[in-house]
Amino acid sequence: MKIIKRTHLYILALFFAAINLRIGITSISPILETIREDLNMSNFTVSFLTAIPVFCMGVFALLTGKVIRLWGVERAIVACLILIGVTTFMRAFTYSVSTLLTSALFIGIGIGLANPLLSGFIKERFPTKIGLMVGVNTFGMVAGAALSAGLTIPLQHVLEETWNTALASWSVLTIVALIFWYFVINQDKGTEKHHGRKNATILPLKNKKAWLYTVFFGLQSGIYYSFITWFAPAMQSSGASSQQAGTLITVLTLIQMVSSFLIPTLADYYKNQTFWLLGSICFVLLGLSFMIYPLATPWVSPVLMGIGLGGIFPLSLMFPLNETKTSEDASAWSAMMQSGGYIIGGFIPIFGGIIRDFSHSHQQVFFMMALLSIVLIFLTLRPSFLIQDHD
């Protein structure tokens, strides 16, 4: 009974930690135009609100090994959550471009360290349930994104139209996560020393497959953050209100939340990641096509994108976990993949902002994302890109 209770605690702690790993980024999207007008920002500058956290998620993932040696996995995750929560709360006092960008920087640092730490936690605690637990992890991330996308504008209205306080209010979810991790640390006292072995810092820099995974992760990350950044403004430029745009983002994230749990679980069960990965990419490509050529109701694109993005991200998180045998190696592979990947992904929303400023249209931005989706298909079809039919 004690083992069962401990397992439930680990799952809940994982879920609530994951909820906090996207809110600092996705809560910006529904009120992006309001922030841009209030602070007199260009589209290029606005793109950095997304790009800075993504860059940090890349750069600081490399420090995961050192953080593990200093504090152990669980305490390091707690430290990351505290950093994210405090910085999110500080947005209540944000009244300039520089302070808003600084908050994006520190939130990105917390997320960048926490991402591979949670991968190592999954590998250590659930070595036989990787697909399911990656699904829980991603489900939490997307749940946080859905909540922040759908409720930030209503919060803004309730809080006397102050977007600063609406953004800061999401720090409450960090407190909830910290409560669960307090109990995790108390239950696991004295069991974390083995995480500090020297090989925790060894990155697979000479492994070709690790580099392919890094490129793949970077491109899918860039597509996701570019879409999150520019979808709402594109809808508003087509005549939708900010509330309607926020509702469409909520639809996208709710569908993504469901598919992010189901698709990796099914891929793990049927032992064929390639099929599910290709299918997910095709859904993304279709969703982007309806943004480039709006031949159907605006609801079609977010539905398709929700299914596709909900599959690609958790399946890519499974790459290093399926390739490695220990939690230390899993953290190292995840750190390299997410570090290089998020750095690649961070440039893509900026490039999208440049395209938007020069073209004065959102269609070219979505066309760029479609081209990147085609590259993902070619990468997936490479021989031995994924372990197939593993037992």
Residue 127 confidence (pLDDT): 84
Chain mean position to CA 108:
11
Confidence (pTM): 0.79
Residue 191 confidence (pLDDT): 52
182 vs 45 pLDDT, higher one: 182
Other CB atoms within 10 Å distance of the CB of residue 17: 28
Other CB atoms within 10 Å distance of the CB of residue 160: 8
The share of the chain scoring above pLDDT 70, in percent, equals 94
Count CA atoms within 13 Å of residue 389 on its CB side: 0
Question: What tokens appear for 46 in the block?
Answer: 């606005």
Residue 161 has pLDDT above 50, yes or no: yes
> Residues 122-158: pLDDT tens digits?
988 888 888 889 889 988 988 888 788 778 888 888 8
Question: What tokens appear for 305 in the block?
Answer: 């994108």
What is the distance between the alpha carbons of residues 113 and 97, in angstroms, rounded to a whole number?
A: 25
Mean pLDDT of the chain: 85
Residue 196 confidence (pLDDT): 45
- Residue identified by tokens 């958790």 is 314
> Residues 193-246: pLDDT tens digits?
444 444 445 788 889 999 999 999 999 999 988 898 788 888 888 777 777 777
Contacts for 358-366: CB closer than 8 Å, 24+ residues apart: 362/230, 362/233, 362/234, 362/237, 362/291, 363/291, 363/292, 365/226, 365/230, 365/234, 366/227, 366/230, 366/234, 366/288, 366/291, 366/292
Q: Which of 272, 264, 256 is nearest to 223 (CA)?
A: 256
What is the distance between the alpha carbons of residues 388 and 184, in angstroms, rounded to a whole number?
A: 35
What is the distance between the alpha carbons of residues 224 and 295, in angstroms, rounded to a whole number?
A: 22
Residue 6 confidence (pLDDT): 83
Give all domains of the chain, ordered by start, each with its CATH number.
Answer: 2-380 (1.20.1250.20)
pLDDT winner (highest mean) among 12-26, 177-191, 289-303, 324-338:
12-26
Question: What tokens appear for 378 in the block?
Answer: 């070619």
| 61, 342 contact by CB (below 8 A) | yes
What is the distance between the alpha carbons of residues 35 and 97, in angstroms, rounded to a whole number?
A: 9
> Residues 100-122: pLDDT tens digits?
999 999 999 999 899 889 988 99
Residue 370 confidence (pLDDT): 95
